[in-house]
Amino acid sequence: MITWNRRDEVLKTLGEMSRLPERPSIVLVDNGSADGTAEAVAARFSSALVVRAGRNMGAAARTVGARRVVAPYIALCDDDTWWEPGSLRRVADLFDAQRRLAVVTARVLVGEEQREDPICDVLTRNSLPRDEAMPGPSLLGFLAGASVVRRSAFLESGGYEERLHVGGEEALLAVDIASRGGWICFVPELTVHHHPSPNRDVVDRRATIIRNALWFAWMRRPVRVAFETLGSLRSPAGRRAIAAALRGLPWALRNRRALPADVERGLYLLEGGR
pLDDT of residue 237: 66
pLDDT of residue 177: 98
pLDDT of residue 213: 92
Q: What is the pTM of this model?
A: 0.94
pLDDT of residue 101: 98
Run means of pLDDT, 10 residues per run, the chain, 274 residues:
96 97 97 97 97 97 97 97 98 98 98 97 94 96 97 98 96 98 98 90 82 94 80 65 91 96 96 77
Distance linking the first and last C-alpha atoms of the chain: 39
pLDDT of residue 239: 73
pLDDT in tens, 207-239: 899 899 999 999 999 988 877 766 655 666 677
pLDDT of residue 272: 86
pLDDT of residue 206: 86
pLDDT in tens, 39-85: 999 999 999 999 999 999 999 999 999 999 999 999 999 999 999 99
pLDDT of residue 274: 56
CATH fold of 2-194: Spore Coat Polysaccharide Biosynthesis Protein SpsA; Chain A (3.90.550)
Domain extent listing, the chain: 2-194, 202-270
pLDDT of residue 240: 76
